[in-house]
């Protein structure tokens, strides 16, 4: 049995795209495909995507035998070989910045129809919802639904064979930021299977009542972070703001504010 892991591509890439492969409001799947096939500056996909989450998920997957990685790309389609050479590009599922979720399977490398599975193979994915929405709209989704494993937060839940229940406070149990949550889910699944998520459920149920934090505007957050310049690490700053001052702000917002303060 092979476990096929579908991971999302990354926005950051090791080489810049040509101007022709930056998706614009007038770009269509057809015009994009014509430009794509004429590109000569190509690089293996596993070297092109250098985002932290992508590289971590790739490493976790490759550490497990009987696991094969596929890449869900908003500009390429389904990349079934991580060593496939592709051009750099800039495309997302945002309006006028990339294909619609209904057209995703028409991209240069196609969609689910390119997957080659054996009857006892499994497919697992903890990719962001927009990628799962694209899969859900692929006309060949029925071919893989009986082998598909997804989290309970996924748009693919209604058609999947196995749904892994995600505790609403899993982030606290795992001690990770929102940006790393899918990576940790993949790590847990490949190392512990569904039992790992049962463990998270149990630990989540033992947590004390959630602390009520107060919202804060971006301007006030920036001011507060500036006042706390003496706190030298991001983790310590986040803990102080959230746990001591009871300020409601995400890891990403606090990190961004800290960077702005550092620039000033």
- Read off the pLDDT of residues 163-214 as tens digits, 9 standing for 90 and up: 999 999 999 999 998 889 999 999 999 999 999 999 999 999 999 987 788 9
* Cβ atoms within 10 Å, residue 144: 22
What is the Cα–Cα distance from 215 to 224, expressed in whole angstroms? 13
Q: Is the pLDDT reported for residue 46 higher than 70? A: yes
Instruction: State the average pLDDT over residues 109-114.
Output: 96
- Averaged confidence pLDDT in the chain: 95
CA-nearest of 75, 66, 139 to 102 is: 139
Instruction: State the average pLDDT over residues 24-48.
Output: 96
pLDDT score for 177: 85
pLDDT score for 243: 87
48 in Cβ contact with 13 (< 8 Å): yes
- Taking the alpha carbons at both ends of the chain, their separation in whole angstroms is 54
Instruction: State the average pLDDT over residues 130-158.
Output: 97
264 falls in which pLDDT band (50, 70, 90)? low
Instruction: State the average pLDDT over residues 127-135.
Output: 97
Instruction: State the average pLDDT over residues 9-28.
Output: 96
108 in Cβ contact with 37 (< 8 Å): yes
pLDDT score for 263: 66
- Provide φ and ψ at 85, rounded to 5°: -85, 125
Which residues, in sequence order, are bridge partners of residue 78? 72
pTM: 0.82
145 falls in which pLDDT band (50, 70, 90)? very high
pLDDT above 90: percentage of residues in the chain: 91
128 falls in which pLDDT band (50, 70, 90)? very high
């Amino acid at each position: 049995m092979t476990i096929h892991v579908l991971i999302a591509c990354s926005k950051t890439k090791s080489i810049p795209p040509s101007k022709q492969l930056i998706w614009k409001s007038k770009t269509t799947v057809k015009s994009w495909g014509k430009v794509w096939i004429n590109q000569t500056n190509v690089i293996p996909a596993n070297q092109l995507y250098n985002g932290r989450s992508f590289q971590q998920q790739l490493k976790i997957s490759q550490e497990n035998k009987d696991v094969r990685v596929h890449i869900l790309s908003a500009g390429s389609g389904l990349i079934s070989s991580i060593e496939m050479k592709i051009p750099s590009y800039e495309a997302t599922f945002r309006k006028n910045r990339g294909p619609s979720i209904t057209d995703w399977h028409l991209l240069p490398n196609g969609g689910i129809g390119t997957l080659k599975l054996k009857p006892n193979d499994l497919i697992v994915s903890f990719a962001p919802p927009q990628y799962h929405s694209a899969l859900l709209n692929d006309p060949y989704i029925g071919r893989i639904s009986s082998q598909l494993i997804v989290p309970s937060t996924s748009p693919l839940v209604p058609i999947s064979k196995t749904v892994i229940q995600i505790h609403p406070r899993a982030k606290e149990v795992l001690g990770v930021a929102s940006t790393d949550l899918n990576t940790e889910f993949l790590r847990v699944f490949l190392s512990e299977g569904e039992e790992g998520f049962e463990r998270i459920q149990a630990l989540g149920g033992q947590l004390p009542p959630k602390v009520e934090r107060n919202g804060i505007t971006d301007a006030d957050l920036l001011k507060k972070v500036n006042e706390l310049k003496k706190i030298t690490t991001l983790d310590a700053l986040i803990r102080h703001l959230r746990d001591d001052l009871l300020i409601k702000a995400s890891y990403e917002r606090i990190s961004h504010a800290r960077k702005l303060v550092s620039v000033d």
